[in-house]
Amino acid sequence: MTTFCLLQISFVLLYITKISTQDCNILPLLHNKMIQGNLHLLNKMGQQFPEQCQSEKIHFKFPEQFLKLRQKENAKVEIQEILQLIFYIFTKNLTLAAWDGRSLERFQNGLNQQIEHLEACLTERMEKKQPYSRSEEIIRLKLKKYFQKIDNFLKDKQYSLCSWEIIRLEMRRCLQFIDKVIGRLRN
């Protein structure tokens, strides 16, 4: 009986893994949905942008060349990297942020799911990965610089409420950009 049960479970797991790997074909659609949910959560967790924080804000220049990535596989890799960086930011000291804890948690889980899914699909097709061209390398570097700037900003402001609100605002914009690139992947 136990062996039979084990067999059933293993079969089910096999099917699940097969199904989950097949998700890579509908990756763009799925990720659009995921980002949608994440963005909604990001909106929900805080209030309207506080007036007093307007003076503190700075301009984070998101590399818009990222939006023009042609290679689909490389774009997926870049998306995964961005999501990871965002996730990393939201693991920092959030005590002064005064956000809705539950929404924040769900936002973090959602990001994690997205990252894991992308990882699974990308490692499957690792052999199909194209070498980065010079322009693509530049985009990668710029993205890294962008997130470094955000990190520095938060540190300088000592993770104050205003700094977090400014960053939240910027992350919403960032997710919008990712959504745009994923939309292009669906073509």
Partner 1 sequence: MAVLIGPLSFCQLVYLSILTTILFSLTEASVINPPQKLTMNSQNFEHILSWEPGSNTTMPTYYDVMYIGLSGSENKWKIAKECSNTARLFCNLTKEYEECTYTYIAMVQSITGNRVLNSSILEFSPYRSTYLGPPAVNLTACPTCINVTVKLPATYLKESSLIDIYQKLDYTITVESFDRKEKIPIKNETSEESFSYVVGSLHSNTNYCVSVAVAASLNHHSIPSALKCIITRSNTQPGYGIIPILNGGLVSLVVGIFLLGLYKGGFICLKSKPWPKVLETTNKLHCSVHEPDPENVCSVQIMYKEMEKKEWEYSYDDSESESENSGDYTRRVILGRDPSCHAKSNTFVHQTIDCKSAESSSQATELLSSDTENSEEHQSVIRENERISRVFFHPSSEVNSSSTSELSNSACFNINLNTVMLGDPDKTWDDSATLISHQKDAVDLQDSSASDALESKNFTNTVDVKKPDCHNISHEWQNPSVSDESDASDSEYIRR
User: Which tokens in the block code for residue 134?
Assistant: 């010079």
Count CB neighbours of 110 within 10 A. 21
How far apart CA 45 and CA 43 sit, in angstroms, is: 6
Rounded least distance, CB 51 to partner 1, Å: 6
Closest to 147 (Cα-Cα) out of 57, 62, 64, 76: 62
Rounded least distance, CB 138 to partner 1, Å: 21
Residue placing its CB nearer to partner 1 in the complex, 10 or 172: 172
Residue placing its CB nearer to partner 1 in the complex, 8 or 54: 54
Residue placing its CB nearer to partner 1 in the complex, 35 or 122: 35
Rounded least distance, CB 17 to partner 1, Å: 27
Residue placing its CB nearer to partner 1 in the complex, 124 or 156: 156
Residue placing its CB nearer to partner 1 in the complex, 36 or 109: 36
Rounded least distance, CB 159 to partner 1, Å: 19
- Assign 126 to helix, strand or coil: helix
How far apart CA 170 and CA 110 sit, in angstroms, is: 18
Rounded least distance, CB 40 to partner 1, Å: 9
Contacts of residue 27, defined as CB under 8 A and 6 or more positions apart, other chains included, come to: 76, 117, 118, 121, 185
Work out the burial of residue 64: count CB atoms within 10 Å of its CB; fewer than 13 is exposed, 13-18 middle, 19 or more buried: exposed
| Residues near partner 1 (CB under 8 A) | 32-33, 35-36, 39, 48-49, 51, 54-55, 57-60, 166, 169-170, 172-173, 175-177, 179-181, 183-184, 186-187
